[in-house]
Structures are given as C-alpha cells and as structure tokens.
Amino acid sequence: MNWEWTPQMRQVRDFLRYFAKTEIRPISRAADVAHEVPISFLKKVKALGISMEPIPASVGRGGDGEGVGEEQDAKRVRQTNRIAVVAAEEMAWGDAAVIITLPGPGLGGPPVSATGTPEQKERLFGVFSDPEPKWGAYALTEPEAGSDAAGIQMTATRTKGGYILNGTKTFITNGARAEWTVTFATVDRSLGRRGQRAFVIEKGQPGLEPGRIFDKMGLRASETSEFSLVDAFVPDENLLGGEAYYEERQAKGFRVAMATFDSTRPLVAAMAVGIARAALEEATDRLTQNAALSLGTPLAEATRARLGQMAAELEMARALVFEAASMADARQPNAKVASMSKAFSGQVAMAICRQAMDLVGSVGALGDSLLEKWYRDIKVFDIFEGTAQVQRIVISRRLFEEAGAER
C-alpha cells in the first residue's frame, strides 16, 4: 500500500480545495433549491478541464504507465486512482451534487475504457472533445433489480445485425442528458449472470422512451432519471467489447458491471468522507463560538469527546478509501477493500452528519443551513453503488474465498 503523497496529488488537493471553497460552495444552496447546476458553471469547469471521471484499475492513462515497456512501467508511480479519491473528497466538501453533475463520461467511462473496442473508445470518448458540456451515463438498476445486479430483466434478443432490447432502467445519474449510456441486458434470463451483455444506447436511439426525472430528498441539484427501451434495435457495433468478448468467457457481462463498482466505490466513499468533513468542520466552528464549551463543565467535556470520536472515525474512513485506491493503482484486486471503504465511509459519514446536527442544535436544521443540506445529501451514500448490506455480503464472500484458498 502506497501512502506517499506525490507532488501531483498535493497540487490536485490544493487547487480543488480552493476551487471548492471559492466556486462550488457559493452556488451550493441555490443549486439545491433550483434542482440544477447553472450551465454557466458547467461550461466553466469544462473549459478548465475539471472532471470526475473514474478510472478502472486495469486501465492506464497518459503519464501513468500507459504505452511504456514493462520495466519502465514498473518504475512509474501509478497514482490515477489516488488522485481521483483526493479530488472526490475535496469536491464533495464543496457540494457532492455539483460534482456528480460535472460533464464527462461519468460511470459509463470505466466499462468503455476497460472493455470497449478501439473503435468504440474513439467514438464514445470523442464526444467529450466538444467544447460544450456533454455527459455519459451507466444504466444497471431496474425497478425490480437494484442490489441484485444478477437479476436484471431487460432483454436483448439476437437479430440480424444486432439485438432488440426491451425493458426499463432507473436511477440513472445524468441519464436524461447523456449522449450515450452503457446499459446492461440479458440474452437469456435463465442463464443469470452468464446471459448478461453491456450495450451502448445513444441519444436519439429509436425505441428509447425517456421516463421521470426524480425529485429526490438529497443531491437535488444532480439529475437522476429513468428510461425504457421498447423494441429498440441496437446494432452490433454498440455491443460493448463485441461478440468475441462474451464468447471468450462466461459471465463477462456481469463482470463488466462489477468491475465498474470496484473502481467507483472508493470514489463514492471519498465523496462521503468529503461531506462528513464539511459537517465536522461546521459543527466545530459553531461550537468554538459557544462560550459554554470553554468553561470545563461536564457537558463541555462530553461535547469535546464526541468531536474527537467523530474526527477519529473520519480518519479511519479516509484510510480505507486510500487503501482501496492504492491497491487499484498497484493493479491489485481491490473488490473487498473497495466494498469495505464504501460500507464503512457511508455509515460513518451519516453518523457524523447526524451528530453534527445534534451538537449544533436547531440552527443547523434551518433551510439556509448547509448542514441541513448535507444531512439530506449523505443518506444516499449508504445506498447507491451498492447498499451497505450488499457491501457486507461482498466482503464476507471474499473472506470465505481467501480462507478456502489458504487451506
């Protein structure tokens, strides 16, 4: 595990900490009320090249080992995933809903990077060279298949030159505005995971029927939507990876979906850490101004002890996030630690936001308080990208696999 902070990591942290304070925080409350991020802000971040694109462990990027010989590659410091979680924490400290809305491929990026053909990568990522903000998306969840990703019901029926897709996807981040969406369907429900395939659904696809844009409790400035595909013909060139990819190994479509989570769960955990840090700082600042806490009373000591415990748990959560990212940079399997970071950080962050509200009191619940907003925002970090319950199942499976391998 590499705990070293490289100069690039420090530069990213310092710049985004300043950017979050001066550019994101000032629009946070207004964006929450309006249920959208100002397009002027999105154009600004696009021009600055700021993106929250998750990078899978199996994919190198320029300056991070891509396209070099094995000996030279081994000497390079791979840091893309650690930089990503550092950036995610700082930006979420500003506003998690805003950074989820940043232009780019979003959650659709990792599966395209990891499994797309050269033509698909060039075509799909080429969309984002446009100076105007553009988005990609990722559609796995269905009304009857959320945590049970192996049970998706959207069907893909083979036909000449492609597939006919039917079904509904829901809770899609940036789904209504996306230029393309990586979408999972099954060629045979009886096959379970082995029947799954990943397709790219492009904007304007015949048979694509947009659904609701949800009115949510938290992260209200971000767009979350659903869509249905009704007898939608998807050509072979939009089967992610091509036919040969799925013929090579069974259950590869399901593995594409799960590998995406190994990359993105540490990012989601880092965002939770960022929100929790913001709440802890807010509570500490407000309580510092409370003269009663400087009098050495039992109440004051109990309050200080709670703040100390919150700070310790926040550091533990950050350590798990950094470990998951470090393993990804080292190209080590990180599914267990990624799930640990997601489950632990989400629940710790919820507890910190709740305790911050308790300590601050009624002023924290007022409609103009960012603490009230963070309290609403943080709940989803225990749900999306796999609920905490599912994460614990993933962790336990890995433990049993490891125990069996040692026998």
In this structure, the answer to whether residues 167 and 232 fall within a common structural domain is yes
Residue 240 lies in a domain: yes
d(CA 303, CA 381): 26
In this structure, the answer to whether residues 263 and 394 fall within a common structural domain is yes
DSSP string, 4-61: ---HHHHHHHHHHHHHIIIIIHHHHHHHHHHTS--HHHHHHHHHHT-------TT---
Q: State the pLDDT at residue 387.
A: 76
| Angle at the Cα of 244 from the Cα atoms of 262 and 122, rounded to 5 degrees | 65
Contact in structure between 386 and 342 (CB atoms under 8 Å) = yes
Q: Please state the pTM of the whole predicted model.
A: 0.85
Of 53, 87, 104, the domain-final residue: 104
Residue 117 lies in a domain: no
Nearest to 325 by CA among 59, 105, 2: 2
Residue 127 lies in a domain: no
Of the ranges 172-176, 240-244, 246-250, which one carries the lowest mean pLDDT score? 246-250
Average pLDDT over residues 206-227: 95
Residue 323 lies in a domain: yes
Active site residues: 385
Of the ranges 55-64, 194-203, 341-350, 368-377, which one carries the lowest mean pLDDT score? 55-64
Confidence of residue 391 (pLDDT cuts 50, 70, 90): confident
d(CA 87, CA 325): 12
Asked if pLDDT for residue 251 goes beyond 60, the answer is no
In this structure, the answer to whether residues 38 and 164 fall within a common structural domain is no
Structure tokens at 85: 């979680």
Q: State the pLDDT at residue 259.
A: 60
Of 202, 226, 252, the domain-final residue: 252
Strands (E) located in 187-278: 196-202, 208-213, 224-235
The string of pLDDT tens digits covering residues 320-346 is: 999 999 988 888 888 889 989 999 999
Residue 125 lies in a domain: no
In this structure, the answer to whether residues 348 and 300 fall within a common structural domain is yes
Asked if pLDDT for residue 45 goes beyond 80, the answer is yes
Chain-wide mean pLDDT for the chain? 85
Q: State the pLDDT at residue 300.
A: 77
| Angle at the Cα of 81 from the Cα atoms of 79 and 84, rounded to 5 degrees | 105
Q: What is the CATH number of the domain that holds 172?
A: 2.40.110.10
> CB burial class (10 A; 0-12, 13-18, 19+) of residue 148?
exposed
In this structure, the answer to whether residues 41 and 146 fall within a common structural domain is no
Q: State the pLDDT at residue 54.
A: 47
CA distances from 395 to 175, 224, 257, 340 (A): 30, 28, 17, 7
Contact in structure between 229 and 166 (CB atoms under 8 Å) = yes
Average pLDDT over residues 273-284: 95
In this structure, the answer to whether residues 290 and 362 fall within a common structural domain is yes
196-202 and 180-186 as β-strands: parallel, antiparallel, unpaired? antiparallel
Nearest to 381 by CA among 112, 2, 104, 97: 97
Residue 130 lies in a domain: no
In this structure, the answer to whether residues 287 and 398 fall within a common structural domain is yes
Of 200, 224, 252, the domain-final residue: 252
Residue 115 lies in a domain: no
The string of pLDDT tens digits covering residues 115-141 is: 899 999 999 999 998 889 999 999 999
Q: What is the CATH number of the domain that holds 33?
A: 1.10.540.10
d(CA 382, CA 265): 11
In this structure, the answer to whether residues 217 and 267 fall within a common structural domain is no
Q: What is the CATH number of the domain that holds 352?
A: 1.20.140.10
Higher pLDDT, 352 or 4: 352
Asked if pLDDT for residue 260 goes beyond 70, the answer is no
Confidence of residue 255 (pLDDT cuts 50, 70, 90): low
* Domain carrying residue 92: 7-104
Q: Which residue has the tokens 């709940």?
A: 379
Q: State the pLDDT at residue 258.
A: 61
Structure tokens at 51: 């993106």
Of the ranges 89-98, 244-253, 345-354, which one carries the lowest mean pLDDT score? 244-253
Confidence of residue 147 (pLDDT cuts 50, 70, 90): low
Residue 2 lies in a domain: no
Confidence of residue 2 (pLDDT cuts 50, 70, 90): low
Q: State the pLDDT at residue 393.
A: 81
d(CA 137, CA 199): 12
Asked if pLDDT for residue 374 goes beyond 80, the answer is yes
In this structure, the answer to whether residues 261 and 361 fall within a common structural domain is yes
In this structure, the answer to whether residues 304 and 170 fall within a common structural domain is no
Confidence of residue 65 (pLDDT cuts 50, 70, 90): very low
Average pLDDT over residues 263-292: 88
Nearest to 328 by CA among 19, 58, 128: 58
In this structure, the answer to whether residues 227 and 341 fall within a common structural domain is no
In this structure, the answer to whether residues 295 and 355 fall within a common structural domain is yes
Structure tokens at 170: 């829901």
Contact in structure between 227 and 169 (CB atoms under 8 Å) = yes
Q: Report the range out of 46-60, 158-172, 279-293, 333-347 with the highest average pLDDT.
A: 158-172
Q: Report the range out of 175-189, 299-313, 350-364, 372-386 with the highest average pLDDT.
A: 175-189
Q: How many domains does the chain have?
A: 3
Q: State the pLDDT at residue 144.
A: 82
d(CA 260, CA 186): 18
